[in-house]
A = this chain, B = another copy of it.
Amino acid sequence: MNFLFFFIEDGLGIVAKLSECISSRGGNILSVDVFVPENKNVFYSRSEFVFDLNRWPRAEMDADFLKLSKLFNATRSVVRVPSFDRNYKVAILASKQDHCLVDLLHGWQSARLPLDVTCVISNHERGPNTHVMRFLERHRIPYHYLPTSKGNPRDGEVLDLVRDTDFLVLARYMQILSGEFLESYGKDIINIHHGLLPSFKGSYPSKQAYDAGVKMIGATSHFVTEELDAGPIIEQMVERVSHRDNLQSFVQKSENLEKQCLAKAIKSYCELRVLPFEKGKTVVF
């Protein structure tokens, strides 16, 4: 399956031209989602179509779409087409809590997630006999233990390790990445926050929620920006709590939500369903 994501600031006739282009190359459209926000001059489209690589080589497809975007005199156009020959290269950053890390590794192994895990980076050391370390060893995935401290975030070392990735996943990574890192890395970083943003930003959101006496708790998956826990939200999931839940069960319920929420966000992202929208928001087809 192939995807085309067009973000063009001119809506007139685009769906027509897009489809005509695909058809003329022998492609067959399987699904199209088009979204034009009210009163705006932007246009989001995601098409799934099948085609014959022999009839429409990648280089020609790139050229065709580039021509199309120029045709519309677009001030800004972005075309994303997934690669066909490899999965997404991703590095996973984690700290002490490993429920999300483990779920992602299993998701990778069972091909539930279309990833290529290049390495795991952690500021927490794990013994060689732990499930994670044995798993990584068996699958020859490097584990980089980079202990950090207040004056030594070691961003530069992390950057060197992840330059070659398509995106990063912060799986309960408790170290804040600096603005310089974000700028240098330049690609997307997906984080899981164990609270229902914008409530309970920062540390110990489960304790914050417990003290606030809420009756619903949640997890949020979002893109990382320089402001902590404030980047565009991709996915959120919730669960009920009551007075019978103590802090421990708040945490257990939260961990279950975090795993599902992060995996879902990553899956949507890899399927090119997630697009930046307005200021600080996302379209998720």
Can you give 28 contacting A-B residue pairs, CB < 8 Å? A11-B29, A13-B20, A15-B15, A15-B19, A16-B19, A30-B36, A31-B36, A32-B32, A32-B33, A33-B34, A37-B246, A196-B196, A198-B214, A199-B199, A212-B280, A213-B232, A213-B233, A213-B277, A213-B278, A213-B281, A215-B233, A215-B234, A215-B235, A215-B236, A216-B218, A242-B284, A243-B282, A243-B284
- Contact of A140 with B by CB under 8 A: no
A28 at the interface (CB under 8 A from B): yes
CA distance A277 to B11 in the complex (A): 30
Q: Is the CB of B19 within 8 A of A23?
A: no
- Which residue of B has the minimal Cβ distance to A218? B216
User: When chains A and B are docked, how far (Å) is the Cα of A15 from the Cα of B15?
Assistant: 8
Which residues of A (212-261) have their CB < 8 Å from a CB of B?
212-216, 218, 232-238, 242-244, 246, 256, 260
Report A94-109 residues with CB < 8 Å from chain B CB: 102, 106, 109
Q: Is A38 an interface residue (CB 8 A)?
A: yes
A214 touches B243 (CB 8 A): no
With A216-B238, A233-B215 as known contacts, state yes or no: A23 contacts B32, CB within 8 Å. no
Shortest Cβ gap from A236 to chain B (Å): 4
Q: Are A28 and B11 in contact (CB under 8 A)?
A: yes
Point out which of A18, A243, A277, A282 has the most chain B C-beta atoms below 10 A from its C-beta: A243
Residue A80 is within 8 A (CB to CB) of chain B in the complex? no
Name the B residues within 8 Å of A237 (CB-CB). 216
